[in-house]
C-alpha cells in the first residue's frame, strides 16, 4: 500500500458583513483539522469581531481589507499567503458554509486517491454540496458531454466524479498547478469567478473532481418564492449582484476556453431568468438597470 505524501494544507475564509454565528461555527470546524486565515472584505464591524476570530489556535492571520475589493481579489490575497507559507493545497470557503466531520481529511484523501488516475494532474476537488434549506444535492456538472452530463464517475473510482465546474466554497486547490493555470480573475469581482477559473483549468488539460467522500452544507443564492429557484434551476440574488452575474457570464460567452455545451445551456437559462426578474419581481426596474448595464459593460472586461 502506497503511503500518502505529506501535504501542507490551509484554509482561506473570505468574510463580508458576516453572520457571526455561522462564521464562528465554520472556524470552529476548521480549527479541529487545519490552519486557516480569514480575509475580511471591508466589513465596518470587523474590529468588534476580531477577537472572536483570532482566539482560535489555528487561526494564523486575520487580514483586514480597507474596503470591499471583491471575492476574487480576496481569494488571490489568500492564495498568495498560502504559497508564501509553503502550503501545497488550499481550501476556499465562504463565510456561511458548514462541514461534515473530518472534512479536511476526507478531501485530502480524495485528492490523493483520484490523482492516481489523472494524466496531467487534478487542479481542484470539490465536495458534494447540500443545500441546508432544502436538503437538495448539487450534481457535479459536465458541459462538454451530450449524455451523462452530471455525476459521471472519474475513471474506476466509486466516490469521485468528473466535473467541469466546482463552486468556490469547499473547493480544495492544488497549489502546485496554480502557476500554470493562474489565479482568480479579479475583474469579475464576485460572480462567476469560480466558473471562469474552472473553465480555464479544464482548457489546459487539468482535471476537476467532485467527491462524495465529503459534504459541504451551503445555500447558493437567496430564498425565493420563484418556482425556478425552488426547483434548483436558477439562483436568486439581489439586483446589485445581477449586474456582476450578467456582465461576467456575457463576457464568458465570448471566451475561447468556455465549453460550447455550457454556452448552449446557459444562454437560454440566463434569458429566462432575466425575463422573469424583469417581469415578475417587485424590483423589476432595478433588475432591468443592473442586467442591461452588465450586458453593456461586458465588452470592457479584458
pLDDT digits (tens, 9 = 90+) for 162-198: 999 999 999 999 999 999 999 999 999 999 999 999 9
Q: Where does a domain end: 176, 196, 217?
A: 217
Same domain, 213 and 293: no
Has residue 35 been placed in a domain? yes
Has residue 107 been placed in a domain? yes
Report the DSSP pairing between strands 160-162 and 207-217: antiparallel
Same domain, 126 and 232: no
Q: Where does a domain end: 159, 183, 217?
A: 217
Given a contact cutoff of 8 angstroms between Cβ atoms, the answer to whether 245 and 287 are in contact is no
CATH at 70? 3.90.550.10
Strand spans (E) along 155-243: 160-162, 172-174, 207-217
Same domain, 119 and 71: yes
Average pLDDT over the chain reads 92
User: 254: how many CB neighbours lie within 10 A of its CB?
Assistant: 11
Same domain, 103 and 66: yes
3-state secondary structure (DSSP) of residue 16? coil
For the chain, how many structural domains are there in total?
2
Given a contact cutoff of 8 angstroms between Cβ atoms, the answer to whether 37 and 10 are in contact is yes
Same domain, 204 and 256: no
pLDDT at 221 over 70: no
Q: What angle (nearest 5°) sits at the alpha carbon of residue 101, between those of residues 99 and 105?
A: 95
User: 230: how many CB neighbours lie within 10 A of its CB?
Assistant: 14
Helices (H), the chain: 20-31, 46-54, 71-84, 103-115, 178-181, 193-203, 227-230, 239-253, 260-280, 284-297
Has residue 261 been placed in a domain? yes
What is residue 231's predicted lDDT score, i.e. its pLDDT?
53
Same domain, 172 and 239: no
Same domain, 67 and 190: yes
pLDDT at 233 over 70: no
C-alpha cell at 74: 480576496
Given a contact cutoff of 8 angstroms between Cβ atoms, the answer to whether 27 and 38 are in contact is yes
Has residue 222 been placed in a domain? no
Task: Give residue 161's domain range.
Answer: 9-217
Has residue 1 been placed in a domain? no
Averaged pLDDT, 18-30: 96
Q: Which residues pair with 126 in a beta bridge?
A: 210
Averaged pLDDT, 117-140: 94
C-alpha cell at 257: 476556453
Q: Identify the helix (H) or strand (E) that includes residue 89.
A: strand 89-94
Same domain, 21 and 135: yes
Q: pLDDT tens digits, residue range 247-291?
A: 999 999 999 999 999 999 999 999 998 988 888 888 889 999 999
Has residue 185 been placed in a domain? yes
Has residue 175 been placed in a domain? yes
Q: Where does a domain end: 193, 217, 241?
A: 217
Polymer length of the chain: 302
Q: What are phi and psi of 140, to 5 degrees?
A: -85, 110
Q: pLDDT tens digits, residue range 58-114?
A: 999 999 999 999 999 999 999 999 999 999 999 999 999 999 999 999 999 999 999
Same domain, 178 and 270: no
Same domain, 67 and 165: yes
What is residue 2's predicted lDDT score, i.e. its pLDDT?
47
Has residue 4 been placed in a domain? no
Same domain, 123 and 239: no
What is residue 190's predicted lDDT score, i.e. its pLDDT?
95
Same domain, 154 and 237: no
Amino acid at each position: 500500500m502506497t503511503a500518502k505524501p505529506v501535504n501542507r494544507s490551509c484554509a482561506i475564509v473570505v468574510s463580508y458583513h458576516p453572520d457571526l454565528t455561522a462564521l464562528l461555527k465554520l472556524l470552529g470546524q476548521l480549527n479541529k483539522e487545519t490552519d486557516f486565515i480569514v480575509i475580511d472584505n471591508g466589513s465596518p464591524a470587523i474590529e468588534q469581531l476580531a477577537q472572536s476570530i483570532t482566539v482560535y489556535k489555528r487561526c494564523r492571520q486575520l487580514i483586514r481589507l480597507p474596503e470591499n475589493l471583491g471575492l476574487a481579489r480576496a481569494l488571490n490575497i489568500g492564495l498568495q499567503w498560502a504559497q508564501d507559507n509553503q502550503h501545497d493545497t488550499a481550501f476556499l470557503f465562504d463565510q456561511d458554509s458548514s462541514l461534515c466531520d473530518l472534512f479536511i481529511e476526507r478531501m485530502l484523501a480524495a485528492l490523493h486517491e483520484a490523482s492516481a488516475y489523472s494524466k496531467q494532474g487534478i487542479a481542484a476537488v470539490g465536495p458534494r454540496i447540500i443545500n441546508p434549506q432544502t436538503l437538495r444535492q448539487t450534481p457535479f456538472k459536465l458541459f462538454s458531454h451530450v449524455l451523462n452530463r452530471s455525476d459521471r464517475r472519474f475513471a474506476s473510482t466509486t466516490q469521485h466524479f468528473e466535473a467541469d465546474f466546482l463552486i468556490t466554497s469547499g473547493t480544495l486547490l492544488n497549489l502546485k498547478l496554480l502557476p500554470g493555470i493562474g489565479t482568480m480573475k479579479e475583474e469579475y469581482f464576485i460572480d462567476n469567478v469560480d466558473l471562469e477559473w474552472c473553465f480555464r483549468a479544464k482548457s489546459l488539460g487539468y482535471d476537476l473532481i467532485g467527491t462524495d467522500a465529503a459534504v459541504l452544507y451551503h445555500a447558493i443564492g437567496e430564498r425565493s418564492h420563484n418556482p425556478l429557484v425552488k426547483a434548483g434551476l436558477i439562483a436568486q440574488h439581489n439586483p446589485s449582484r445581477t449586474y456582476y452575474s450578467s456582465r461576467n457570464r456575457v463576457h464568458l460567452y465570448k471566451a475561447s476556453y468556455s465549453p460550447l455545451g455550457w454556452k448552449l445551456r446557459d444562454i437560454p437559462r440566463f434569458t429566462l431568468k432575466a425575463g422573469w426578474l424583469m417581469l415578475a419581481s417587485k424590483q423589476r426596474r432595478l433588475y432591468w438597470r443592473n442586467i442591461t448595464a452588465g450586458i453593456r459593460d461586458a465588452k470592457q472586461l479584458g
